[in-house]
Amino acid sequence: MGLKIGVLGAGMFATEFIPLFQAHPLVDSVALAEINPERLSEIAGKFGISETYASLEALCRSDVHAIAIFTQRHLHGPHALQSLRAGKHTYCAVPMAHSLEDVRAIVEEVTSSGLIYMTGETSYYYPSTIYCRDRFAKGDFGDFVYGEAQYLHDMSHGFYDAFQHSGGSEWKQVAGFPPMYYPTHSVSMLLSVTGAKATHVSCLGYRDRHADGVFREDSNLWRNAFSNETALVRTSDGGMARLNEFRRVGWSGKNSVYLSMFGTLGSFEEHADSSIWTSIVPDDIQPLDDLLRTAPSIAHDGEDALPAGLRRDFHSGVSRVHPKERLPAGFENMPNGHFGSHQFLVDDFVQSVTQMKLPPNHAWNAAKYCVPGIVAHESALRDGEQLPVPDFGEPGAQWEHLKL
């Protein structure tokens, strides 16, 4: 018998994943839960979903095996906990949560229940991250020395539309989410390559001045005035990293997420429009643009509905470094997005629940990607005071890991 997946939230991002869950050969059916009744019936109709629910509570009472959460970013911690406590395996779009308490509770819940929790980290399957992970595993970097990772996404590049889509007249309350509460696209690139953890962080914030008033103490739920935050991190392998999470920045690159890594033997550098490998061997400079370029995605149904600033990130196929042969054959002519990552994330989750083996982005790694940012924002509020990053441990020895 195949899996029954319940998708929570029928917003812009969920609609990129529903058809992939439906097309996966190990999935029997997909149900949909959404609190906005018009949106529920529109999206259920569009994807031919007959089983619908008006709330998370109702979805939790249903017989779905797993819940895939695509609600707004500030709701993820409580929604994931509710799903796990109802006995459902849980996939959640990033971030895992924005409080240490919720992260701790999710890790404890997964530990005691034996359920699968997976964070939907798109950066994990970006070409640059895959390339660096492979070369790091082969020893080509030597020891990790220093990394730079950044998620540069100006508010005007689709974020106004994205936050207004569900935020109504109160949209600014959520749009002013502290940038470091959404750190996982950058943190995961570095830490999923090295396997290390952040141990200490110091962060500074840029006090926003824009007339839209999104990042102001009196306009959002977190009393947050920072639109850009920069953190310096110490990692458990003795390395150093600089993270930028910018939401107000005059910048356009081929991507919005960037990685550079320097090791004692070799280095990878990614710029706005190109990337290279270089090493300790004199004159070794290898251009990587052809290798890492992603193909256009198969056209998405209704893709013009997406704000222009989001379309390029949402819709992109695989590069030559993606191990696409491991994907179900039926995915080949399906849409993909975020630099080839969507199809891999769906397959990871479905395979892990079916085999009861941990996916790469399991709860303990999700904590590793998320917690440095939560502490970084606290540091920014204290004008850069260096703070320790709590360690939420590793999965127990009883767990097998998915072989991909």
Ligand X SMILES: NC(=O)c1ccc[n+]([C@@H]2O[C@H](COP(=O)([O-])OP(=O)(O)OC[C@H]3O[C@@H](n4cnc5c(N)ncnc54)[C@H](O)[C@@H]3O)[C@@H](O)[C@H]2O)c1
The residues of the shown chain that bind ligand X, judged by CB under 6 A, are: 8-14, 33-36, 39, 55-56, 70-73, 75, 93-94, 120, 122, 162, 165-166, 338
CB of residue 189 to ligand X, shortest distance in Å: 12
Q: What are phi and psi of 265, to 5 degrees?
A: -115, -30
- Cβ closest to ligand X, residue 21 vs residue 141: 21
Q: Nearer to ligand X by C-beta: 73 or 357?
A: 73
Residue whose CB is less far from ligand X, 188 or 267: 188
User: Given the complex with ligand X, which of 120 and 239 has the nearer CB atom?
Assistant: 120
Q: Report the alpha-carbon distance of residue 243 to residue 258 in Å, rounded.
A: 10
Of 186 and 379, nearer to ligand X (C-beta) is: 186
Q: Which of 316, 310, 346 is nearest to 331 (CA)?
A: 346
Report the 10 Å Cβ neighbour count for 212.
Answer: 16
- Minimal distance, residue 119 CB to ligand X, in Å: 9
The nearer residue to ligand X, 72 or 319, going by C-beta atoms, is 72
Instruction: For the beta carbon of residue 370, count every other beta carbon within 10 angstroms.
Output: 29
Residue 313 Cβ vs ligand X, minimum distance, rounded to whole Å: 7
Q: Cβ closer to ligand X: 202 or 297?
A: 297
- As measured in angstroms, the least distance from the Cβ of 337 to ligand X is 8
d(CA 245, CA 60): 34
Do 57 and 31 touch, CB atoms closer than 8 A? no
Q: How far is the CB of 58 from ligand X (least distance, A)?
A: 9
Could you tell me the two tokens for 185?
A: 């696209």
Q: CA-CA distance, 220 to 155, in Å (whole number)?
A: 15
The C-alpha atoms of residue 52 and residue 263 are separated, in whole angstroms, by 50
Rounded to whole angstroms, the Cα distance separating 399 from 344 reads 21
Task: Give residues with Cβ within 8 angstroms of 195, minimum separation 6.
Answer: none
Q: What minimum distance in Å lies between the beta carbon of 354 and ligand X? A: 23
DSSP lists the bridge partners of residue 52 as 32
Residue with tokens 């940038």: 179
Least Å from the CB of residue 296 to ligand X: 18
For ligand X, which residue has the nearest CB?
11
